[in-house]
Amino acid sequence: MYKQYLDIHPEVQKALDENKPVIALESTIISHGMPYPQNVETARKVEEIVRENGAVPATIAILNGRLKVGLTDEDLEYLGQGDDILKASRRDLPFIVAKKLNGATTVASTMIVAALAGIKVFVTGGIGGVHRGAETTFDVSADLQELANTNVAVICAGAKSILDIGLTLEYLETHGVPVVGFKTEELPAFYTRKSGFSVDYKADSELDVAKALKAKWDLGLKGGMVIANPIPEEHQMDYDAITKAIEDALVEADEKGISGKESTPFLLGKVKEITKGKSLESNIELVFNNARVGSKIAVELYNL
């Protein structure tokens, strides 16, 4: 039934048919997570890095209501510049598809479409989580429920401290989602390698992660895994500076009454403004790093 809604790029379909590693990539990071033209440049470069590391990239988005798995260069350009691209999470999919609209997929909806296409590994920058103040706002990203239910591994750079990292970890624990540190005992906090929180397990290699994924899914334990890969030392931000920038951004979001799906894009934009663009540079570098590690994990997984 679902196949009628999917458009899988021929290169991606070929890799899937030949049982070769494919990496899913999201598009909210392009349309709502970074400014133009760095967003499109980053998306292109990430696809290149995935190829260099032995996998086939499949950037996912919704165009004219079609669930696209693998995009053309013009598609990427459109997602980077278009002004009619909705931020599409799980709850948005039905109407965007039925009304033939355009949508950039979040971690949650990228996982959904990846799973429909048979893709097991997904690389991004950061996942959504439990927002600070969620005890009153109830703002908990749908990404967490998706990680609980959908069999796709997500390689990211940890959780940003625009979120309540402690509560995000508690939520993931409740839902049985392993949080794995890639060569680290400490959960990275996106812009920095430090967060003050521990991961559940440290993986020493890509193969370690691949073996754990295989075991999880062989055992019928549904859901994904968070593989947290720290930003490279030379690209991380000063801990105190980024903490202050995030706190100022949160205060402004509160004063302006920003909530719901606008919250994450607003905070990312503000942090970039406050850090005079430095946070964007770090963001781009950590995505490149995740693409390298994620592709190698996929290669190991497909060899098991």
Name which of Mn ion, ligand PSU, none residue 236 binds, using a CB cut-off of 5 to 8 Å depending on partner kind: none
Q: What is the DSSP string of 163-222?
A: B-HHHHHHHHHHTT--EEEES-SBPPBTTBS--S-B-SEEESSHHHHHHHHHHHHHTT--
Residue showing the smallest CB distance to ligand PSU in the complex = 33
60, 93, 107, 246: residue in contact with ligand PSU (rule CB under 6 A): 107
Contact status: 141 vs ligand PSU (CB under 6 A): yes
User: Within positions 25 to 84, which residues make up the interface with ligand PSU, using CB under 6 A?
Assistant: 26, 28-29, 32-33
Contact status: 300 vs Mn ion (CB under 5 A): no
| Active-site residue flag, 211 | no
| Active-site residue flag, 160 | yes
List the beta bridge partners of residue 163.
131
Contact status: 177 vs ligand PSU (CB under 6 A): no
- Residue 80: CA atoms inside 13 Å, Cβ hemisphere, count? 18
**What is the four-CA torsion angle of 288, 290, 291, 294, rounded to 10 degrees?**
170
User: Within positions 145 to 184, which residues make up the interface with Mn ion, using CB under 5 A?
Assistant: none
Report whether 222 belongs to an annotated binding site: no
126, 178, 188, 230: residue in contact with ligand PSU (rule CB under 6 A): 126
Count residues binding ligand PSU (CB under 6 A): 18
Nearer to ligand PSU, 117 or 154 (CB): 154
- Select which of 68, 120, 160, 296 is catalytic: 160
Query: Amino acid letter at 64?
Result: N
Q: How far is the CB of 96 from ligand PSU (least distance, A)?
A: 15
Report whether 238 belongs to an annotated binding site: no
List the beta bridge partners of residue 154.
122, 226
List the beta bridge partners of residue 57.
23
Other CB atoms within 10 A of residue 234 CB = 6
Name which of ligand PSU, Mn ion, none residue 284 binds, using a CB cut-off of 5 to 8 Å depending on partner kind: none
CA 127 to chain centre: 5
26, 47, 139, 146: residue in contact with Mn ion (rule CB under 5 A): 139
Report whether 139 belongs to an annotated binding site: yes
Q: ω into residue 37 within 30 of 0, thus cis?
A: yes
d(CA 111, CA 90): 9
Q: What Å distances lie between residue 252 and 216, 248, 267, 283, CA to CA?
A: 42, 6, 9, 21
Site string for ligand PSU, 154-173 (x = CB under 6 A): ------x-------------
Q: What Å distances lie between residue 246 and 14, 37, 186, 192, 251, CA to CA?
A: 43, 24, 20, 12, 9
User: Within positions 7 to 36, which residues make up the interface with ligand PSU, using CB under 6 A?
Assistant: 26, 28-29, 32-33
Helix (H, G, I), strand (E, B) or coil at 224: coil
* Known binding residues for substrate: 87, 107, 141-143
Give the active site residues.
26, 160
Known binding-site residues equal 87, 107, 139, 141-143
Binding-site ranges for ligand PSU (CB under 6 A): 26, 28-29, 32-33, 89, 106-107, 125-126, 128, 141-143, 160, 261, 264, 268
